Amino acid sequence: MGKTIAEKILSNHSGRDAKAGDIVIADLDFMIGQDGTSGVAIDSFRKMGAKKVADPSKIAIIIDHSSPSPNEGVSAIHKKIREFASEQGLTLYDIGCGVCHQLTPEQGHVVPGDLVIGADSHTCTYGALNVFSTGIGSTDLAAGMISGKLWFKVPETMKVVYKGKLPKGTSSKDLILALIGKIGADGATYLALELYGAAIDELSVDARFTLSNMAIECGAKAGLMAADDKVMAWVKQHSQKKPDPQAADKDAVYKQTIELDAAKLEPQIAKPHTVDNVCPISKVLGTPIQQGYIGTCTNGRLEDFQIAAKILKRKKVKDGTRLIIAPASKDILMAMIADGTYESLLESGAVAVTPGCGPCVGTHNGVPSDGENVISTANRNFKGRMGNPNAFIYLASPATVAASMIEGKIADPRNYL
Amino acid sequence: MNLNGKARRLPQNDDINTDYIISGRYKFKIQDPVELAKHVMEDVDPAFYGRLQEGDFLVAGRNFGCGSSREQAPMAIKYAGISAVLAKSFARIFYRNCFNLGLPAIEVDTDKFAEGDELEVDLDNGLIRDKTKNIELKIAPLPPTMQTLLGDGGLVEHFKKHGGFAL
Ligand code: SF4
């Protein structure tokens, strides 16, 4: 019987003929932690009695969630992380380098066929590069750092096929929101996704990250894609590591196959307070907005800001509202400066914050007030997510956020193309 | 393993996410799990922590623990004195994190358990008794990996004992 991508990568890393349902102990190619999870991982590492990590070249810690530090509690955690990284000789990305899920692929740490864990739920992002990467907790990260291994239950796979081409004004964000709306927040729990179709083939690698990034929002363990020519070229540009791409066999067994028609897609919105509360934009047009946010590991990449800048060009963010932008990495920030995107967005009235998670998780800047509506390119709209349980978060594509900021209410980006 | 305590329910049943369990506001600031636990479920039910007694069970519906990978979520539950989480289904990372901390997460149809019901969880015989209602529900045996982790008292203790994975 044929194998899925997940079964192949987990077989290759465990030295076993692994099938869905098996428990394997597998060798890890890379692992990451961030500033919200690494403090606990370091505590667990010490409690386990460990002195040295198995291989410092396979570990990176990224200070991105609450960075720069807003208070002394966070500063203490950052200090602990810096000291641990230097003691163990790990890679540390300090404040302002960017978001973990941008840096890990961008800085060449992961390549097709790899097995990767991260103490952050959106570690599934690298599935776009044909990497089996998944989020785990801090103590699992500690175990991984000590042994270079982790146990996995080999997941069954759900195959998702996006037929047709994306219409103008829609993007990969709309593709993934539509899927999550359809199958629900637990529609793929314990499963790996394999994402295919003409709509995906056409996407840039950067746009594909948006899809894999949100696999966790329907409960999936991984959001895997094939390593096509675009992926191989992207990886060659970013990494020295040797890729080992894995394709699913023709007779691989899937738990379920879902087809979605991309050609019929409208821009999508996830309404408060769950990511699967998705509707086409026509249902919420005109909803007043007080704050916009473009950034995060979902949509903080160069082309996201280019799209927003194009829509906002020679226009202004509506009076009485505010648009915050946070490039997902310093390299993206530099590229935005080089091609004029940064200046253009600032001219339109955007406010830029440090490359990193920005207002996404409500731990430092950009906390909305009671009763305010926020439209954001992030991946979560849970109550309290941005630091205030009395605010309302709408999730959308960068194009939709940009259009909405011109009008000060939810607006259709197709009117601005 | 036999656990006894009261059922504690939340105003929301399904999709309790890790941001609700412990808000990002606190997980980044507070390193002491006992302090963290005081804010457990605060955004969904501000009175929740005050209601708890040592050994109580957190009882919920589908997809409990969805969202982020923060281990501070099961940690806050555990240090609030809760002895097990009972839910119809769990999100994957949260489920794993529970056992890594030695906190049982048990899949069971929770509809019949009301706030304040006296429950007894008998893990060895795979039973949950609602002593208030005088009913008994069967639960599926825990996966062997989870039994081992729980038996050792979590992943830290497992590593201390075996010097690595012995699953
Ligand atoms: S940008 Fe948001 S979702 Fe992404 S890693 Fe940071 S906090 Fe998590």
Q: Is residue B120 part of a domain?
A: yes
**Cα(B120) to centroid(ligand 1), Å:** 39
- Name the one residue in this structure whose structure tokens are 């599926």: B140
A275 and A191 in a single domain? The answer is: no
A309 and A245 in a single domain? The answer is: no
Residue B79 · residue B33 · CB < 8 Å: yes
Q: In this complex, is the C-beta atom of A222 within 8 Å of any C-beta atom belonging to chain B? A: no
Choose one of A122, A133, A209, A380 to mutate for the ligand 1 pocket test, by most ligand atoms within 8 angstroms of C-beta. A122
A176 and A36 in a single domain? The answer is: yes
Token digits of residue A177? 């929101």
A189 and A307 in a single domain? The answer is: no
- Name the one residue in this structure whose structure tokens are 């146990």: A151
Q: In this complex, is the C-beta atom of A95 within 8 Å of any C-beta atom belonging to chain B? A: no
| Partner-chain contact A146 B154, CB within 8 Å | no
Residue A232 · residue A112 · CB < 8 Å: yes
**Cα(A310) to centroid(ligand 1), Å:** 25
Q: In this complex, is the C-beta atom of B13 within 8 Å of any C-beta atom belonging to chain A? A: no
| Partner-chain contact A149 B89, CB within 8 Å | no
Average confidence (pLDDT) over B53-75: 96
Q: Is residue B161 part of a domain?
A: no
Q: In this complex, is the C-beta atom of A380 within 8 Å of any C-beta atom belonging to chain B? A: yes
* Residue A25 CB neighbours (<10 A): 17
How many structural domains comprise chain A?
A: 2
A57 and A170 in a single domain? The answer is: yes
Q: What is the pLDDT of residues A347-388, one digit of tens each?
A: 999 999 999 999 999 988 999 999 999 999 999 999 999 999
How many structural domains comprise chain B?
A: 1
Choose one of A101, A210, A332, A380 to mutate for the ligand 1 pocket test, by most ligand atoms within 8 angstroms of C-beta. A101
Question: For B160, how many CA atoms within 13 A lie in the half-sphere containing its CB?
Answer: 14
Interacting residues of A92 by C-beta distance below 8 A, sequence separation 6+: A60, A61, A62, A63, A81, A82, A85, A86
A119 and A255 in a single domain? The answer is: yes
Question: Which CATH number belongs to the domain containing residue A153 in this structure?
Answer: 3.30.499.10
The Cα–Cα gap between A19 and A1 comes to 10
A56: cis peptide before it, omega within 30°?
no
The nearest CA of chain A is from the CA of B132 a distance in Å of 32
**Cα(A365) to centroid(ligand 1), Å:** 14
A19 and A47 in a single domain? The answer is: yes
**Cα(A298) to centroid(ligand 1), Å:** 8
Measured in whole angstroms, how far is the alpha carbon of residue A50 from the centre of its chain? 31
| Residue A86 burial (10 A CB sphere; 0-12, 13-18, 19+) | exposed
| Partner-chain contact B167 A151, CB within 8 Å | yes
Q: Is residue B6 part of a domain?
A: yes
- Best residue in B42, B69, B98 for a mutation probing chain A (most A CBs within 10 Å): B69
Q: Is residue B39 part of a domain?
A: yes
Residue nearest to atom 4 of ligand 1 (CA): A297
A132 and A245 in a single domain? The answer is: yes
Q: Which of A259, A290, A310 is a domain's end point? A: A259
* Residue A314 CB neighbours (<10 A): 7
Interacting residues of A237 by C-beta distance below 8 A, sequence separation 6+: none
| Partner-chain contact B29 A73, CB within 8 Å | yes
The Cα–Cα gap between A191 and A153 comes to 10
The Cα–Cα gap between B93 and A278 comes to 24
A141 and A191 in a single domain? The answer is: yes
Please tell me the predicted confidence (pLDDT) of residue B25.
83
Q: What is the pLDDT of residues A197-234, one digit of tens each?
A: 999 999 999 999 999 999 999 999 999 999 999 999 99
A241 and A312 in a single domain? The answer is: no
Domain range for A360: 268-416
A294 and A167 in a single domain? The answer is: no
Residue A132 · residue A115 · CB < 8 Å: yes
Q: What is the pLDDT of residues A101-131, one digit of tens each?
A: 999 999 999 999 999 999 999 999 999 999 9
Residues with CB under 6 A from ligand 1: A 64-65, 99-101, 120, 122, 296-297, 357, 360-361, 378-379
Q: What is the pLDDT of residues A159-212, one digit of tens each?
A: 999 999 999 999 999 999 999 999 999 999 999 999 999 999 999 999 999 999
- Partners of B160 on chain A (C-beta within 8 Å) are 47-49
C-alpha distances (whole Å) from A132 to each of A13, A109, A138, B110 are: 11, 13, 19, 34
The answer, yes or no, to whether residue B24 has pLDDT greater than 90, is: no
The answer, yes or no, to whether residue B27 has pLDDT greater than 80, is: no
Share the mean pLDDT of chain A: 97
Ligand 1 atom at shortest distance from the alpha carbon of A361: 7
Q: In this complex, is the C-beta atom of A190 within 8 Å of any C-beta atom belonging to chain B? A: yes
Q: In this complex, is the C-beta atom of B114 within 8 Å of any C-beta atom belonging to chain A? A: no
ipTM of the complex: 0.95
Please tell me the predicted confidence (pLDDT) of residue A173.
98
The answer, yes or no, to whether residue A293 has pLDDT greater than 80, is: yes
Strand duo A278-280 + A268-270: pairing = antiparallel
Name the residue among B17, B25, B156 with its Cβ closest to that of A48: B156
A10 and A132 in a single domain? The answer is: yes
Please tell me the predicted confidence (pLDDT) of residue B26.
86
Residue B16 · residue B73 · CB < 8 Å: no
The Cα–Cα gap between B34 and B36 comes to 5
* Residue B88 CB neighbours (<10 A): 18
Q: Which of A259, A291, A317 is a domain's end point? A: A259
Please tell me the predicted confidence (pLDDT) of residue B28.
77
Q: Is residue B51 part of a domain?
A: yes
The answer, yes or no, to whether residue A26 has pLDDT greater than 80, is: yes
Q: In this complex, is the C-beta atom of B1 within 8 Å of any C-beta atom belonging to chain A? A: no
Q: In this complex, is the C-beta atom of B89 within 8 Å of any C-beta atom belonging to chain A? A: yes
Interacting residues of A349 by C-beta distance below 8 A, sequence separation 6+: A316, A317, A322, A323
Residue A133 · residue A117 · CB < 8 Å: yes
Domain range for B35: 2-141
| Partner-chain contact B28 A119, CB within 8 Å | no
How wide is the angle at C-alpha B124 spanned by C-alphas A190 and B155, nearest 5°?
50
pLDDT over 90, % of chain A: 99
Average confidence (pLDDT) over B89-104: 96
Interacting residues of A131 by C-beta distance below 8 A, sequence separation 6+: A110, A111, A112, A113, A114, A115, A116
The nearest CA of chain A is from the CA of B28 a distance in Å of 6
Q: Which of A217, A232, A259 is a domain's end point? A: A259
| Partner-chain contact A37 B154, CB within 8 Å | no
Choose one of A61, A95, A216, A379 to mutate for the ligand 1 pocket test, by most ligand atoms within 8 angstroms of C-beta. A379
The answer, yes or no, to whether residue A1 has pLDDT greater than 90, is: no
C-alpha distances (whole Å) from A133 to each of A101, A112, A157 are: 11, 10, 14
Please tell me the predicted confidence (pLDDT) of residue A364.
87
Q: The pTM is what?
A: 0.97
**What phi, psi does A84 have (nearest 5°)?**
-65, -45
- Partners of B154 on chain A (C-beta within 8 Å) are 139
DSSP state of B63: S
- DSSP string for A354-401: -SSSGGGGSSSS-PPPTT-EEEESSS---TTTTS-TTSEEEE--HHHH
Question: Which CATH number belongs to the domain containing residue B45 in this structure?
Answer: 3.20.19.10
